Amino acid sequence: MTLDAVLAQIDSDLDASIDRLKDLLRIPSISTDPAFKDDCQKAADWLVADLVSLGVDAEARPTPGHPMIIGHVGEGAPHLMFYGHYDVQPVDPLNLWNRDPFDPAIEDTPKGKVIRARGACDDKGQLMTFVEAFRAWKTVHGKWPCKITFILEGEEESGSPSLVPFLKENAPELSQPDIAMICDTGLFDRDTPAITTMLRGLLGEELTIKGADKDLHSGMFGGAAINPIRVLTRIIASLHDETGRITVPNFYDGVPELSNSQKAQWENLGFDAKGFLADVDLSVPAGEQGRSVLEMIWSRPTCEVNGIWGGYTGDGFKTVLPAEASAKISFRLVGTQDPMEIRKNFRAMVESMLPQDCTVEFADHGAGPASVMSTEDPAFEAARLALTDEWPNAAACIGSGGSIPIAGYFQEYLGLPSMLIGFGLDDDQLHSPNEKYDLRSFHKGIRSWARVLDALTQTDTA
Amino acid sequence: MTLDAVLAQIDSDLDASIDRLKDLLRIPSISTDPAFKDDCQKAADWLVADLVSLGVDAEARPTPGHPMIIGHVGEGAPHLMFYGHYDVQPVDPLNLWNRDPFDPAIEDTPKGKVIRARGACDDKGQLMTFVEAFRAWKTVHGKWPCKITFILEGEEESGSPSLVPFLKENAPELSQPDIAMICDTGLFDRDTPAITTMLRGLLGEELTIKGADKDLHSGMFGGAAINPIRVLTRIIASLHDETGRITVPNFYDGVPELSNSQKAQWENLGFDAKGFLADVDLSVPAGEQGRSVLEMIWSRPTCEVNGIWGGYTGDGFKTVLPAEASAKISFRLVGTQDPMEIRKNFRAMVESMLPQDCTVEFADHGAGPASVMSTEDPAFEAARLALTDEWPNAAACIGSGGSIPIAGYFQEYLGLPSMLIGFGLDDDQLHSPNEKYDLRSFHKGIRSWARVLDALTQTDTA
């Protein structure tokens, strides 16, 4: 009955909840670009002020990068830790947005109302689902459901460089909770909620191939002088074989085959592989031959070039033979693949392909292993049933192609299991122009957390 | 004796000549970038005013792009046409310049004084050598040496899109001269002047490979969705085989072998291939196996990637799977290679390598065949001897890796032979940061033209 009151409070407060989310979305907290450092601080301060207004003992603690928000509040078991991140991806190419990415608005679309802005889903909209659930709970109950710790990060979109040192330094404080609730994942589909139990890891590499000591005239030197773009493209073209497998030596060490039961469960999900690709105007799965699309995005490792540049890239034409060419490359990892070993083997492979007149420089853009959650804790089943109560279909345990290394770090440095629940959709345009969050995701997301909190506090006291 | 007076006038007026060149260099007439359109007009107006001040009937005639300067003056045989271009290359990467590229200055270097600025050599410094030679001639003689026509172009660095239509339209007027003198080439070395008799052609292509209809999250879609960067790098990597030969079908149709006499003449030049490469910090000739460096840059065709871009190229890291990737590619052509045929075969080859889910868009950045001058006209030998009088070593007839399709166009559309004389050096950093022109090139270049004019007018009247 009190759950019903909380749900009613959520429904009646929805407009105000949307206004608060819009306030947060107006702050361009792009963590990877130093030009937005002050905005990251501003977003952190905004969240701290909101948590403090709810009675949380919260502060934005400095790190070498952007601040880490830590907050404590409430009493009683279980002790839950809630994680989200307040930083967002860059917005380029800006010309492809249908509005200013930091001027959020509600838009009507054929699939319903959406909140359009950078970070609307990833991850400001998602983290505000649990903040709003707590606000409603506090309003109805006058107190918090149990002991809660918040950890809200500001560097998730730029490889989380400060996170592990921070967890290590604050382990006595942050290892107290029983479980971490991470809100940065998606629904399985529009009507099917999900707990994500497999996450791919991520290794980020940048390489710059250098040839002559300056840019050259391609007429005067073309033919005789090595072209670093040619060297770079040859290296990148060799990273996959004809069957789509990645050719870095020993790359597949630690890549597990799916168990038959997992395979069966995923087949039962009724995933529409054709529709998934057709949504982005594609039709042919581009990964390893003989694998299903769900395997390609959930349980198989990848190697993708995320950026490439060299020479003249402006309007018109310039017959330059450039001195260098660069690429940003990421590997998604699964099972027990070792990011450090793969980095070493990748770099050795690149170096072995360099012509005598070329050198290479590498930059490190983070490395995190894959995570596979243990779902034996009864809290998982309680949460799954609570989600099932809110949505049309029963909740599923699924994999995710994205990388949220935080779950692995919580396990490794704090000894905490994690539960990943989120409400994003495949068409939310994360990291792309015109990012959005369905109003339904936001609204039912807040309601879902109220149900999960209710279930977990009852489970625990039962 | 009057030649000596002209040379003395050139020497005594040198400081003023430098000041005039600096004025022209201050105008950022970058033809390829629409942002500098007004500056191209300004450079044209500056030159017209200077020519008019010398008594030339000159005007900047409009084209669909930048203006074409046409001027007529003088009487008597031979009728010489002088060609240069007032537009310059872009200046990026700007941070590698040791000064503002459009704030010219005289600098002392270990190899002597230089004029540093974008366009100092290519081609404002070069075209001002003949303008200054005429100025001195006029001052001493009170009249012009013979009938002269000027054609100064503003689109040479951006593929000369307006040139051929202009030549066709004005053929009755512009086909009157006996020979075209083109000043846009180099010395053979510091002490050896040169008439360039072989020029490579140039074909400019831009291609954009498109995959999904938007940028995607490489976690959510990575593995399943095609990455256009991967497709582009695979295509570019396949453009050369293991021996450095270009793989476009029928590419080598029309590529001649050097005659034994040409080979012998080039071997006698004493070209320092090691030093040529070492000057830019390289040591291994990167072209076709079994060819000399001089062949690679003068008489063999090339395929170079001048620019490549796709995905996220800013600071930090963005795990995007981009919707498209692009490259600018140029082919240097020799002999009777047909640019249109090569364009057709290149595009067909690219299309044949596209996966089912990708499309390609091409843009045309100009196409000009190679030029081989006939040196039978006695004016060639007269000019060669005049150059020999000015410089320490005898003048040589050489090839050039660069592409100055204008010579081919003058032949094709006006029926005019061309003579290419210029005073640039390999280390002038054309198209690169810190472009310069040796003061010695500028000074002896002006003197060289006075000697050539003297020789050609005497030859003709002899």
B357 at A interface, C-beta within 8 A: yes
Q: What confidence score (pLDDT) does residue B227 get?
A: 97
Q: Does A332 touch chain B (CB under 8 A)?
A: yes
How close is the nearest chain A Cα to the Cα of B320, in Å?
5
The helix, strand and coil proportions of chain B, stated in percent and rounded to the nearest 5, come to 35, 25, 40
Other Cβ atoms within 10 Å of B5 Cβ, number:
15
What b/e sequence results for B404-422 when a residue is b if at least 16 CB atoms lie within 10 Å of its CB, and e otherwise? Answer: bbbbbbbbbbbebbbbbbb
Cis peptide before B64 (omega within 30 of 0): no
Taking the Cβ of residue B252 and every Cβ of chain A, the question of whether any pair is shorter than 8 Å is answered with no
Torsion of CA B235, B236, B241, B247, to 10 degrees: 70
Question: How far apart are the two ends of chain A, measured CA to CA in Å?
Answer: 17
Q: What percent of chain B has pLDDT over 90?
A: 83
Which of A159, A211, A293 is nearest residue B224 as measured by Cβ atoms?
Answer: A293
Lowest mean pLDDT: which of A90-99, A394-403, B11-20?
Answer: A394-403
CA distance B128 to B18: 9
Nearest to A236 by CA among A329, A312, A322: A329
Residue A415 φ/ψ region, left for φ over 0, alpha for ψ in the -120 to 50 degree band, beta for the rest: left
CA separation for the pair B281, B330 (Å, rounded): 23
What single-letter amino acid sits at B35? Answer: A
A213 closest CB neighbour out of B232, B281, B302: B281
Checking if the pLDDT of A140 tops 60, the result is yes
Strand partners, B68: B61
Q: What is the mean pLDDT of residues B82-88?
A: 98
Minimal-distance CA residue of chain A relative to B234:
A237
Q: Are strands A320-321 and A216-217 parallel, antiparallel or unpaired?
A: antiparallel
Which chain A positions have a beta carbon within 8 Å of B318's beta carbon? 32, 89-90, 157, 306-307, 328, 431
Confirm or reject contact between B96 and chain A (CB < 8 A).
yes
Strands A105-109 and A112-116: antiparallel
Return the amino acid letter for B84.
G
pLDDT tens, residue by residue, A103-129: 999 999 999 999 999 999 999 999 999
Across the range B381-400, mean pLDDT stands at: 93
The pLDDT mean for chain B works out to 94
Q: Is B32 on the interface with A (CB under 8 A)?
A: yes
B321 neighbors A304 (Cβ within 8 angstroms): yes
- Give me the long-range contacts of A257-261 (CB less than 8 A, separation at least 24): A258/A295, A258/A299
Taking alpha carbons only, the member of A316, A222, A314 closest to residue B87 is A316
CB pair distance less than 8 Å for A206 and B317: yes
Q: What are phi and psi of B417, to 5 degrees?
A: -75, 160
Q: Verify whether the Cβ–Cβ distance A311 to B305 is below 8 Å.
A: yes
- B165 falls in which pLDDT band (50, 70, 90)? very high
Bridge partners (DSSP) of residue B303 are B331
Q: Which residues contact A337 (CB under 8 A, 6 or more apart)?
A: A201, A251, A253, A254, A255, A301, A369, A370
Q: What are phi and psi of B217, to 5 degrees?
A: -80, 125
pLDDT of residue B461: 40
In this prediction the pTM is 0.77
Q: Are A223 and B332 in contact (CB < 8 Å)?
A: yes
Token readout for A204 is: 């980020």
In this prediction, residues A288-316 reach a mean pLDDT of 94
Residue A273 has pLDDT above 50, yes or no: yes
The 10 Å CB-count burial string (b at 16+, else e) for B14-29 is: beebbebbbebbbbbb
Residue with the two structure tokens 């949307």? A18
**pLDDT number for residue A371:** 86
- For A180, phi then psi, to 5°, come to -100, 130
Helix (H) or strand (E) holding B363: strand B359-368
**In which element (H, E) is residue B150 found?**
strand B148-153
Is-contact A322 A215, C-beta < 8 A? yes
- On whether any CB of chain A is under 8 Å from the CB of B227, the answer is yes
| Å between B232 CA and nearest CA of chain A | 8
A317–B204: do the CB atoms touch at under 8 Å? yes
Residue B460 binned pLDDT confidence (cut-offs 50, 70, 90) = very low
Q: CB-based contact (8 Å) between B264 and chain A?
A: no
Digit-coded pLDDT (tens) for A187-246: 999 999 999 988 899 999 999 999 999 999 888 898 899 999 999 999 999 999 999 999
Which one has a higher pLDDT value, A261 or B314? B314
Residue of B nearest to A236 (CA): B233
At residue A436, the pLDDT reads: 98
Instruction: Judge if the upstream peptide bond of residue B104 is cis by omega within 30 degrees of 0.
Output: no
- Out of B233, B281, B328, the one facing A312 most closely (by C-beta) is B328
Q: Is B420 on the interface with A (CB under 8 A)?
A: no
> How far is residue A2's CA from residue A142's CA, in Å, rounded to a whole number?
12
Mean per-residue pLDDT, A292-305: 94
Give the DSSP letter string of A163-204: HHHHHHHTHHHHT-SSEEEE---B-SBTTB-EEEEEE-EEEE
pLDDT top residue among B106 and A316: B106
B229 touches chain A (CB under 8 A): yes
CB A170 within 8 A of CB A101: no
Q: Which residue has the higher pLDDT, B359 or B189?
A: B359
CB contact under 8 A, A318 and B403: no
- The residues in A 302-331 lying below 8 A from B, measured between CB atoms, are 302, 304-322, 325-328, 330
Mean predicted confidence (pLDDT) in B197-214: 94
| Domains of chain B (ranges, CATH numbers) | 2-199+370-461 (3.40.630.10), 201-255+301-368 (3.30.70.360)
What one-letter code names the amino acid at A20? R
Q: What pLDDT does B32 receive? A: 93
Give Cα A212 distance to the centre of its chain. Answer: 39
* pLDDT surpassing 60 at residue A460: no
Q: β-pairing, B194-199 with B324-333?
A: unpaired
Best B226, B233, B302 residue to mutate vs chain A (most A CBs within 10 Å): B233
The answer to whether residue B408 neighbours chain A at the CB level (below 8 Å) is no
Q: pLDDT, tens digit, for every residue of B98-133?
A: 999 999 999 999 999 999 999 999 999 999 999 999
CA dist., res. B68 & res. B91, Å (int): 23
Answer yes or no: do B308 and A311 touch at CB < 8 A.
yes
pLDDT band at A1, cuts 50/70/90?
Answer: low
* Residue among B118, B189, B216, B221 with most chain A CBs within 10 A, to mutate: B221
pLDDT of residue A238: 97
Going by the DSSP 8-state scheme, the letter that residue B259 receives in this structure is P
Residue A447 has pLDDT above 70, yes or no: yes
Contact B133, B453 (CB under 8 A): yes
- For residues B245 and B287, the answer to whether their CB atoms sit within 8 Å is no
Report the mean per-residue pLDDT for chain A. Answer: 94
Q: State yes or no: pLDDT of B462 exceeds 50.
A: no
- The helix/strand/coil state of B305 is strand
Interchain CB distance below 8 Å, B355 and A234: no
Burial class (CB in 10 A: 0-12, 13-18, 19+), B94: exposed
Q: Which amino acid is at B191?
A: D
Confidence label for A462 from pLDDT (cuts 50, 70 and 90): very low
DSSP code for B122: T
Q: pLDDT band at residue B401, thresholds of 50, 70 and 90?
A: confident
Tokens of B283: 């040591």
CA pair distance A46, A44, nearest whole angstrom: 5
In the predicted model, what is the mean pLDDT of residues B60-70?
97
State whether residue B180 is helix, strand or coil.
Answer: strand
pLDDT tens for residues B237-278? 999 999 999 999 999 999 999 888 778 878 888 899 999 999
Distance CA A121, CA A184 (A): 8
User: Are B320 and A308 a contacting pair at CB < 8 A?
Assistant: no
Give the one of B219, B293, B403 whose C-beta lies nearest to A401's C-beta: B219
**DSSP codes, B199-238:** E-EEEEEEEEEE-SSS-EETTTTBTTB--HHHHHHHHHHT
For residue B104, list its beta bridge partners.
none
The ipTM estimated for the assembled molecules is 0.76
- Residue A258 is given by DSSP the state P
Under DSSP, the state recorded for A356 is T
